Amino acid sequence: MYDFKENMSKPERLSGGHRMCAGCGAPVAVRGILRAMKPEDQAVIGCATGCLEVSTFMYPYTSWKDPFIHNAFENASATVSGAEAAYNAMRRKGKIDKDVKFITFGGDGSSYDIGFQSLSGAMERGHDMVYVCYDNNAYMNTGIQRSSATPKYADTTTTPVGSVSNGKQQYRKDLTEIMVSHHIPYVAQTTFLTNMKDLHEKAEKAIYMQGPAFLNVLAPCPRGWRYEASRLMEVTKLAVDTCVWPMFEVINGAWHLSYEPKKKLPVEEYLKVQGRFKHLFLPENRHLIDEIQAEVDKNWEELKRKCNR
């Protein structure tokens, strides 16, 4: 049974005092995921270049309590899978006897785009590791450029809203479903709501299930999404209650819906708290909100069908 007090009393594996922005979802995601580990266990952490890496590790200073490897955008999965393979070889030779977990963190730029090749390869090869994407919907570290995780009609520095454009013109890539198609033991989509129960439980399953696992965690960015830092939890709850970001898991190919809103909110409730979508609320752009709503509804019904709901 989930014990919130017990989970929150575990030692922190990511120290405070890092340089992440107030109201950023990434460190909240990291702390919640690492809190799923048993205090006596050790992890090797890999981190792709991005907001999380540059703000938590500046040689010779680090916020990480576990061994930490900084990698380029594109190869964090390859490096951590290599570390996992070396660890297994050393265990077979009797040179090491303790249990070690292997976890990789990357933003959507290094997961959906630049690092997708190494991520796909590591999952397909079956390494016993967890890959965590902290999805903030753009290349935030380098200036809020669009990624393939950026939602349609979002305003970014490379898809600016103006007289000839209403923002990004393409729908976001569904990386979670792409990971399911790799036939790995565990895939889940989550974020942080109230007592973090969903995040903690899925992280524990991912870390302690044998074989590769993938977690996609919605991690809002106050600068790129343009919301007040104090509204982080409100933004994530609206993402879930509008079904823009549904929470589910796929265990050995079986789909399970983790959360179904008692009252499914209209998508505009989520959009209106973010400055990147403010242009959609001009009278002449109402049809764009309707288009987004139709896409969300279609995806939600398809997910419920897969989950036999």
> Which tens digit of pLDDT belongs to each residue from 114-141?
999 999 999 999 999 999 999 999 999 9
Query: What are the residues whose beta carbons fall under 8 Å from the beta carbon of 16, sequence distance 6 or more?
Result: 63
What is the pLDDT of the chain when averaged over all its residues?
96
Beta strands in the chain (DSSP E): 42-48, 57-58, 61-62, 68-71, 100-107, 130-135, 161-162, 165-166, 186-190, 213-218, 248-251, 254-257
pTM comes to 0.97
Report pLDDT for 5.
Answer: 85
Q: Rounded to whole angstroms, how far apart are CA atoms 221 and 232?
A: 8
> Which tens digit of pLDDT belongs to each residue from 74-108?
999 999 999 999 999 999 999 999 999 999 999 99
Q: Rounded to whole angstroms, how far apart are CA atoms 282 and 284?
A: 6
Report pLDDT for 191.
Answer: 97
Report pLDDT for 202.
Answer: 98
Report pLDDT for 59.
Answer: 86
95 phi/psi in degrees, rounded to 5: -85, -10
> Which tens digit of pLDDT belongs to each residue from 220-257?
999 999 999 999 999 999 999 999 999 999 999 999 99
Any bridge partners for residue 62, and if so which?
Answer: 57
- Asked if the model's pLDDT at residue 144 lies above 90, the reply is yes
Residue environment code for 226-259, b if the CB has 16+ CB neighbours within 10 A, otherwise e: ebeeebbbebbbbbbbbbbbbbbbbeeeebebbe
Q: What is the CATH code for 4-306?
A: 3.40.50.970
DSSP state of 7: H
Q: Rounded to whole angstroms, how far apart are CA atoms 210 and 233?
A: 32
Percent of the chain predicted with pLDDT > 90: 93
SS3 assignment, position 254 = strand
> Which tens digit of pLDDT belongs to each residue from 149-189?
999 999 999 999 999 999 999 999 999 999 999 999 999 99
- Asked if the model's pLDDT at residue 212 lies above 90, the reply is yes
